[in-house]
Amino acid sequence: MINCILGELREKGMIIAIDDFGTGYSSFAREQELNVDCLKIDKYFIDKLLEVDSDKAITAEIISIAHKMGHYVIAEGVEHEEQKEYLLKNGCEKIQGYLAARPLDEDEAIKKL
């Protein structure tokens, strides 16, 4: 049922992503069931990326496995240039967070459009 709905959304040009990947109920098993386009790595891993070796390894593996499954990857919560460099070096296609852009209020967002 859910894949039918996701398929209809995809036909309308929408991109399907799993948010906060690596925490909560998100998993590669769930991702396979849903047939998504993109995985968004949770900020939890990005925060400690430069300090905790296991988070570096987990993040690199999430990116690698996602690519093998045909998905692109967005890293959430990127705040430092060093995080961005590590992520891009390991194949992460896009970043999201204060380093890329600060949140905008409604008026600012409309001006950008």
In the chain the domains, ranked by start, together with CATH numbers, are 2-112 (3.20.20.450)
CA distance 59 to 83: 11
Residue 5, pLDDT > 90, answer no
The pLDDT value given to residue 30: 63
DSSP state of 58: H
The pLDDT value given to residue 98: 94
The pLDDT value given to residue 28: 61
Q: Which pLDDT band holds residue 27 (cuts at 50, 70, 90)?
A: low
Mean pLDDT of 38-52: 91
pTM, to two decimals: 0.78
Tell me how far the alpha carbon of residue 32 is from its chain's centroid: 16
Q: Is 37 exposed, middle or buried (0-12, 13-18, 19+ CB in 10 A)?
A: middle
Residue 32, pLDDT > 80, answer no
Strand partners, 95: 75
Pairing of strands 72-75, 38-41: parallel
Mean pLDDT of 39-68: 91
Q: How many helices (H) and strands (E) does the chain have?
A: 6, 4
